[in-house]
A and B are shown apart, each in its own frame.
Chain A
Amino acid sequence: MVLGTYKEVVTARSTDKEIQKIAQDGGIVSALFCYALEEKLIDGAVVAGPGKDFWKPEPMVAQTADEILAAAGTKYTFSPNVLMLKKAVRQYGLEKVGTVAIPCQAMGIRKMQSYPFGVRFLADKIALLTGIFCMENFPFASLQTFISEKMGVSPELVEKMDIGKGKFWVHTADDVLSIPLKETHGYEQSGCKVCLDYVAELADVSTGSVGSPDGWSTVFTRTDAGETVFKAAVEAGVIETKPVDTGKFGLEILTKLATQKKEKAMKEIDRRKEMGLPVPFKASSEKEDPLANV
């Protein structure tokens, strides 16, 4: 199962004009958190908030819609969101925590929930885990190289970054610049090379841009909790949906990309294991489905 277990997949976007303007894609993450906050399904959410340096995020606990919106948009570098979960519960006193997580962060959270060795009274307070798709991530210095060196833009002028159609894009107030993804090779984080999850298979709800037109998102509902929240948000008119397989978009491209990512990672896992290096995943020969995230 290259796309993980899911109940339903749709194309969707936030109906809020404000969110549409600032969100990365369909604004699903922001819309879901704002809705869940308002309905008191969560009492706060851990998001990748703005940091001291432009485009270098800092995990933050958002307790209002404004704070959630201040963190909208993708930052293509590390935001160790999992770290803030404990603070959200201990320092902020939250009982029902929402969090946005790339697939590997979801893995850290889910492992902690199944095996909370030293982590007391936190596992059952994660009320909504919204996962986002992820092909790879970059150290901050790589990002600086792309923007400042390769494109010659000053980071404070950048309004949006995006990866798509084989390119790394940067939007400023009056320019759209790009470099081919080829030029980003060698700048990725090495830990990503053994990653077997593209579409946040362990989230309650996962979302990403691939598979949907600009301004829209592809959304999987996976767990019972995820399905309930998403359906309620749609019913409340906060999110609008349409079927996923329209025109040139849809599951086909998503399946293709997920398969490519997993096949490449599986090869790297096998290679590293052969060298005697430790990898927490099974070798392809040890498992039934080489593309499963085990």
Chain B
Amino acid sequence: MLARIKQFLGIGAKPKEVPKEEVEKVAEEKAKPRIGYVHLSGCTGDIMSLSENYDILAELLTNMVDIVYGQTLADVWEMPEMDLVLVEGSVCLQDEHSVKELKEAREKAGLVVAFGSCAATGCFTRYSRGGQQARPDHESFVPIADLVKVDCAIPGCPPSPEIIAKTVVAVINGDMDYLQPMIDLAGYTEACGCDLQYKVVNQALCIGCGTCAMACQTRALTMTDGRPELTSARCVKCGICYVQCPRSWWPADRIKQDLGL
């Protein structure tokens, strides 16, 4: 599974010729992806959202994946090797420990996933500016991609339980087509509700559908005369409005497949 994903992403070396028995042995050992969870400056909402997949959660956690590391999930102190690590929260540059943990996760995991908007875009930690007890120096928070290479992002504040389930299933099946938008979104780190104006309305693309306003998780958007209007004081810079806009990127083939068309 990991090899397939790595190959697709163009990371790691090409698989060597190995005897068949060895392949089978490895396949057996690696049958379940080893998943880790790193909690930086986040609110635990993202992992809570994962747990809201009530119907499939037991199956997911017991039979489909191995949770090998993560606060609240596994009693493990030493970070092990992982196929995939979900990183929740942004990084505080003044917090040495966070920076170290993120770098270590990058070294030990095959795939680093920015899990939730704080990790992906900084989200509302973008507004942090220090000056509070007990660490008035804790001032600067950045999306994890500012410090390490991120392989894919699942934005959302929090991401919906469904997108988490769909992503995990796609990872297990090595369904790279489904994951492609999330791979592309790893580069979308400077998000804001004003992206709709800059990247959609200003570019002659807006069609007044209202998807952005529906998707906004803080009701920062209303529709005025068929165009999104941002109340910036409500915007947490999660990026979801732009990500869900049908005029930002368009997964036509996947939609047709999902609809059976």
Contact A189 B207 (CB under 8 A): yes
Number of B residues with CB within 8 Å of any CB on chain A: 53
Q: Are A80 and B246 in contact (CB under 8 A)?
A: no
Contacts of A194 in B (CB 8 A): 205
Those of B177-208 within 8 Å (CB) of chain A: 181, 199, 203-208
Chain A's interface size range is: 35 or more
Q: Are A82 and B209 in contact (CB under 8 A)?
A: yes
Contacts of A77 in B (CB 8 A): 226
B140 within 8 A of A: no
Mask of B29-54 contacts with A, CB within 8 angstroms, 1/0: 00000000000000000000100100
Least CB distance, A174 to chain B, in whole angstroms:
31
Given A5-B256, A140-B226, A191 and B157 contact (CB-CB distance below 8 Å): no
In the complex, chain A residues 65-102 whose Cβ is within 8 Å of any chain B Cβ: 77-78, 80-86
Chain B residue with the shortest CB-CB distance to A81: B210
Q: How far is the CA of A137 from the CA of B210 in the complex (A)?
A: 14
Contact check, B256 vs A117: say whether CB atoms are below 8 A apart. Answer: no
Complex: chain B residue closest to A86, CB-CB: B214
Q: Contacts A80-B210, A81-B210, A82-B211 given: A281-B160 contact, CB under 8 Å?
A: no
Residue on A with the closest CB to B185? A117
Q: How far is the CB of A53 from chain B (nearest CB, A)?
A: 11
Task: Flag the segment in A27-35, A105-113, A231-239 that touches B.
Answer: A105-113
How distant is B50 from chain A, measured CB to nearest CB, in Å?
Answer: 12
B223 is contacted by which of A80, A105, A113, A117 (Cβ under 8 Å)?
Answer: A80
| B208 & A137 in contact (Cβ 8 Å cutoff) | yes
Residue of A105, A190, A222, A281 near B209 (CB, 8 A) is A105
Q: Is A219 an interface residue (CB 8 A)?
A: no
Please state if A117 and B252 are interface contacts (CB–CB under 8 Å): no
CA distance A108 to B166 in the complex (A): 19
CA–CA, A86 and B117, complex, Å: 20
- Smallest Cβ-Cβ distance to B248: which chain A residue: A280
CA distance A191 to B196 in the complex (A): 13
A119 to chain B, nearest CB (A): 5
Return the chain B residue nearest A226 by Cβ: B259
Does A139 lie at the interface of the complex (its beta carbon under 8 Å from any beta carbon of B)?
yes
**Contact at B203–A277, with CB atoms within 8 Å?**
yes
A153 within 8 A of B: no
Task: Describe B's contact surface by its main secondary structure.
Answer: loop
A117 touches B203 (CB 8 A): no
Contact B210 A108 (CB under 8 A): yes
Residues of A within 8 A of B248 (CB): 280
A190 to B49 CA separation, bound complex (whole angstroms): 38
Q: Are B162 and A118 in contact (CB under 8 A)?
A: no
For A107, list chain B residues within 8 Å (CB): 209, 246, 250
Q: Which residues of A contact B207 (CB under 8 A)?
A: 104, 137, 189, 191-192, 195
- Of chain A, the residue at the smallest CB distance from B226 is A78
* Contact with A191, one of B199, B206, B256 (Cβ below 8 angstroms): B206
Distance (whole angstroms) from the CB of A4 to the closest CB of chain B:
7
Q: Which residue of B lies closest to A56 (CB)?
A: B225
The reply on A116 being an interface residue by CB < 8 A is yes
CB < 8 Å neighbour of B210 from A105, A124, A280: A105
Q: What string of 1s and 0s marks CB contacts (under 8 Å) between A263-282 and chain B?
A: 00000000010000111110
* A193 at interface, CB cutoff 8 A: yes
Q: Which residues of B contact A115 (CB under 8 A)?
A: 163, 166, 181, 244, 251, 254
- A277 cross-chain contacts in B, Cβ below 8 A: 203-204
A118–B211 alpha-carbon span in the complex (Å): 12
Q: Which residues of A contact B238 (CB under 8 A)?
A: 118
In the complex, are the beta carbons of A120 and B162 less than 8 A apart?
yes
Give every chain B residue within 8 A of A83 (Cβ-Cβ): 210-211, 213-214, 223
Chain A residues closer than 8 Å to B225, beta-carbon distance: 78, 139-141
Query: CB-CB < 8 A to B112: which residues of A?
Result: none
CB<8 Å pairs between A and B, sample of 30: A77-B226, A78-B226, A80-B209, A81-B209, A84-B210, A85-B214, A104-B246, A112-B214, A112-B215, A114-B251, A114-B258, A115-B163, A117-B155, A117-B215, A117-B243, A117-B244, A118-B238, A119-B160, A119-B240, A120-B49, A124-B162, A140-B225, A191-B208, A202-B256, A202-B259, A223-B261, A272-B204, A280-B247, A292-B252, A294-B252
- Residues of B at the A interface (CB closer than 8 Å) are 49, 52, 117, 154-163, 166, 181, 199, 203-211, 213-217, 223, 225-226, 238, 240, 243-256, 258-261
10 shortest interchain CB distances as A-B pairs: A80-B210, A78-B226, A83-B210, A108-B211, A118-B240, A120-B160, A78-B208, A294-B252, A191-B207, A118-B156
